[in-house]
Structure 1
Amino acid sequence: MHILIVTDQHPESLGGVQVAIRMQRRALERLGHRVTVAAPALHRRGYATAAADRAAYIDLPSRPITRDREYGISWPGRRTDRALAGALADLPPVDLVHVQGDFWGAMIGVRAARGLRVPIVHTMHNHVDEGTRAVTPLAPVAFAGLRAWRRLALGATRGGVDRGSRGAWRYLAELAAEAAAVTAPSQHFAEALEHHGVSRKVLVTPNGVDDEAIRVARGEERSERSRPKLVWLGRMSHEKRVLEFIEAIATSGIDADVTLHGAGLLLPRVEQRIAALGLADRVTVAGPVPYASALAALGDADALVQTSIGFETQGLTPFEAAALGTPTIFSDPEIAADVDVAQKWIVADETVGALARTLRQATSELAADAPSTRVDASVATRFLQSARTEEMLAVYEAALAEA
């Protein structure tokens, strides 16, 4: 079949959703399906689409929305419709639209599916309520704005919407009403979507990690070390609590090497805080790195530190770490429950002090007997993309059967 994936951000930009989409596309292609990904054109300086990906990507007209030009916006309207339709004209007919966005990507995807007269599978990756409240005190106004934007782009809602849904959840419910199937990448987020009236039935379709990339990363020898190695991966933004992590390192006084992988608007403040707290001998900022390098860092580490709370709808890095045998220090107990491995540490509450105490406990145990803390290789297979792709294909087939 030919699946059109429409998303908010370009697959080659930074982010767990983007990684998941790249993995899904390659796994589906290996099974003989065609996947086309439509997203805002990427404006990052020096970026060029790899030859292997060129035929699979449709770069929609866009403009950058962040200072580092990493993320962009494509306006859902006739201009974007024409660009997408023109790019699809020379390709085989689309069988299904898989919306993997919650903002402009969702609206563009719905408009495309209406024009193509094909069903929609909508995977909701973004905790719109929590994420919006984390960055603005005017969240209710933002939610009303999103609903108005959706009406402007899509018109009247097609299908029933639970009258009990409110705010961001109401906005998502209006998008979900267009879909033949609604999915979420974790059990805890699927339950939240159902509880808030977004959809009566939300299927759980976790994102997987690339089989071959994991095999290669597992084959690399771990580096020598004199003290535990911790890694943090992600976008450096407030909801990821990276500054709280820096404070906890200083408070804990741990004797460990800590490397931060990623970038974002808080990067300058992160670097300043590391210097101000005198942590340069323990904490290194590696910046953004290619996916293979991120996996290599995860596999080489003694533990991953996951710091966001209540924001992630899955949190892919602990799954990647577990697939490589690396345990995680979890700040979010719901992510810990979704990963569900024996080797882990869970922070007691949201305070910096609690994170510092858990860092001390984990590094002490790692220094004493690191090999015993590795995640058993026998559980890794359930995190691989090959297993997850079969689950998604079943969702596609059910949606097509009902169309």
Structure 2
Amino acid sequence: MHVVMFGDQHVETLGGAQVSMRLQRRFLERAGHTVTIVAPRVHGPRGRSIAVDASYLDIPSIPITPDREYSMSWPGRRTDRWVDAALASRPVVDVVHVQADFWGAFIGHRFAARHGLPVVHTMHNRVDVGIAATTPFPKTVLRVLNGWQSWALGPHGKRRDGWAYLRGLAARSDAVTAPSAHFARRLEQHGVAPRDAVPRVDVVWNGIDDGLLAAALAEAPAERAPGPPRFVWLGRMSPEKRLLPFLEALAASDVAADVEVIGGGGQLRAAERLVARLRPRASVVFAGRMPYARTLERIAAADAVVQTSIGFETQGMTIFEAASLGTPAVVSDPDLAAELGSGFWPVASGTTAALADALRAAASDISAGTPVAVDPTIRDRFRQSSRTAAMVAIYERVVAR
């Protein structure tokens, strides 16, 4: 098959959806399929560093962030003509896979409608929660987005909230997928479902590269090294990830532990100041951003990964990466806990005190040599090869129909 993917951002930029799309492309090609990825052209230093790749169609765009890494392409007739011309010399397209929420989604759905092609739409994000966390006037933004969708794709209903926005995209899709069961069921509860007689949202986890997983497992220590409990927190340092509440809970817990914070973002300085002010008993090291393979090594060497966001994640990759490597987690989000099934210390509520209690419980169990055991089946279910096989089955279903 020839699969054409549409994204909001170029897959060589930073972001979970971009990482997932790169991985999907690699494993689809290994399985004998052809993949073309359509996304906005990148500007600035990042754009100049991207190697020429025949599988990338970089739409003319304008930069939308100060560092010029992220871009936007306007979904209109000029872009339609550009995409049609760029794909005309490529193999006949079998299926369109939209993995975007905004302009990339509009461009992809417009392309599929013009050419009568089946659409699989992967919902990576909770639009309502994401916009509420990143914009000062979320209701206004959502009304504008719904109006923009109606302009780009046609009317899709009267309500103007985040669920109405996602319903409009799903109604134009032959299959809708989500990266977790809890997000899929929430989509269904709000009427976000494909347009035909299949009412359910398909669950296809974002996976981990089989080779990187094998390499990380090979490098993982056979036995736990002596020392205090080792916790890892990793992710983007922004309010919805709740790094600062974690550091407050760490100080309140009074556990003697080694804590490594991996990642970067706007709250780094605030986090460093908070640690200096609270002076937790635990040692805290801000390790910065790391290559993915190195991050996996740090997860494998840790006693537990600490997950702190609540209601924001549609999958929660870090706890699945940890479970695949045999590392348990402290989990704040009850939806993610239910998805994981076992192998974690639950946080009873969103309070600092509850997180401190969970950290104390984890540290006590680790020190006693009795940490919770992860689900051994996650490793095979999380491999990208199995996720690609599941997605190909969906492609074949919509193409046959």
TM-score (norm 2): 0.91
Task: Tell me the secondary structure at the aligned position of residue 264 of structure 1.
Answer: coil
Is 1:154 aligned to 2:153, yes or no? yes
**Contact 1:258 1:282 (C-alpha < 8 Å) held by counterparts:** yes
**Contact 1:323 1:379 (C-alpha < 8 Å) held by counterparts:** yes
**Contact 1:261 1:285 (C-alpha < 8 Å) held by counterparts:** yes
Change (3 A) 1:237 1:363: same
Is 1:56 aligned to 2:50, yes or no? no
Counterparts of 2:71 and 2:304, CA distance in 1: 33
Give per-residue Cα distances to partners, 1:75-98, cap 9 Å, x unaligned: 222343344334323322221110
Partner of 2:28: 28
Change (3 A) 1:290 1:312: same
Query: Which amino acid in structure 2 is aligned with residue 253 of structure 1?
Result: D
Partner of 2:185: 191
Q: Post-superposition shift, 1:43?
A: 4.1
The range that moved more, 223-232 or 176-185, is 223-232
Counterparts of 1:137 and 1:82, CA distance in 2: 35
Partner of 2:196: none
Task: Tell me the secondary structure at the aligned position of residue 311 of structure 1.
Answer: coil
Counterparts of 2:334 and 2:341, CA distance in 1: 10
**Contact 2:146 2:160 (C-alpha < 8 Å) held by counterparts:** no
Counterparts of 1:119 and 1:280, CA distance in 2: 56
The range that moved more, 242-251 or 172-181, is 242-251
Structure 1: tracts of 5 or more residues without a match? none
Q: Post-superposition shift, 1:335?
A: 0.7
Counterparts of 1:368 and 1:42, CA distance in 2: 51
Is 1:305 aligned to 2:306, yes or no? yes
Change (3 A) 1:266 1:61: farther
The range that moved more, 58-67 or 100-109, is 58-67
Change (3 A) 1:50 1:70: closer
Counterparts of 1:142 and 1:46, CA distance in 2: 28
Q: Post-superposition shift, 1:253?
A: 1.9
Change (3 A) 1:178 1:324: same
**Contact 2:254 2:282 (C-alpha < 8 Å) held by counterparts:** no
Counterparts of 1:16 and 1:368, CA distance in 2: 36
Query: Which amino acid in structure 2 is aligned with residue 98 of structure 1?
Result: H
Give per-residue Cα distances to partners, 1:182-201, cap 9 Å, x unaligned: 11111111111111112242
Query: Which amino acid in structure 2 is aligned with residue 231 of structure 1?
Result: V
**Contact 1:322 1:380 (C-alpha < 8 Å) held by counterparts:** yes
Q: Post-superposition shift, 1:49?
A: 5.5
Change (3 A) 1:288 1:115: farther
Partner of 1:38: 38
Partner of 2:357: 357
Partner of 1:282: 283
Is 1:179 aligned to 2:178, yes or no? no
Task: Tell me the secondary structure at the aligned position of residue 45 of structure 2.
Answer: coil
**Contact 2:251 2:282 (C-alpha < 8 Å) held by counterparts:** no
Query: Which amino acid in structure 1 is aligned with residue 127 of structure 2?
Result: V
Mapping of residues 1-12 of structure 1, within 5 Å: 1-12=1-12
Partner of 1:81: 80
Structure 2: tracts of 5 or more residues without a match? 194-198
Q: Post-superposition shift, 1:64?
A: 3.5
Q: Post-superposition shift, 1:375?
A: 2.7
Q: 2:162 aligns with which of 165, 168, 188?
A: 168
Partner of 2:202: 203
Task: Tell me the secondary structure at the aligned position of residue 237 of structure 2.
Answer: coil
Give per-residue Cα distances to partners, 1:150-185, cap 9 Å, x unaligned: 12222345xxx6x7x661111111111111111111
Task: Tell me the secondary structure at the aligned position of residue 369 of structure 1.
Answer: coil
Task: Tell me the secondary structure at the aligned position of residue 11 of structure 1.
Answer: coil
Counterparts of 2:262 and 2:282, CA distance in 1: 17
Counterparts of 2:254 and 2:42, CA distance in 1: 41
Query: Which amino acid in structure 2 is aligned with residue 274 of structure 1?
Result: V
Q: Post-superposition shift, 1:12?
A: 2.7
Q: Post-superposition shift, 1:241?
A: 1.0
Change (3 A) 1:349 1:121: same
Task: Tell me the secondary structure at the aligned position of residue 349 of structure 2.
Answer: coil
| Residue identity (%) | 51
Partner of 2:392: 393
Give per-residue Cα distances to partners, 1:89-115, cap 9 Å, x unaligned: 332222111001111221121122223
**Contact 2:187 2:201 (C-alpha < 8 Å) held by counterparts:** yes
Give per-residue Cα distances to partners, 1:346-401, cap 9 Å, x unaligned: 1000011111111111112112216x545354541111111111111111111111
Alpha-carbon RMSD:
2.3
**Contact 1:15 1:234 (C-alpha < 8 Å) held by counterparts:** no
Give per-residue Cα distances to partners, 1:223-267, cap 9 Å, x unaligned: 845212111221111111111112111221221111222222223
Query: Which amino acid in structure 1 is aligned with residue 312 of structure 2?
Result: F
Is 1:264 aligned to 2:265, yes or no? yes
TM-score (norm 1): 0.90
Change (3 A) 1:245 1:69: farther
Counterparts of 1:264 and 1:350, CA distance in 2: 22
Partner of 2:296: 295
**Contact 1:16 1:315 (C-alpha < 8 Å) held by counterparts:** no
Counterparts of 2:130 and 2:182, CA distance in 1: 16
Partner of 2:347: 347
What is the aligned length? 394
The range that moved more, 249-258 or 54-63, is 54-63
Query: Which amino acid in structure 1 is aligned with residue 367 of structure 2?
Result: A
Change (3 A) 1:56 1:282: farther
The range that moved more, 128-137 or 321-330, is 128-137
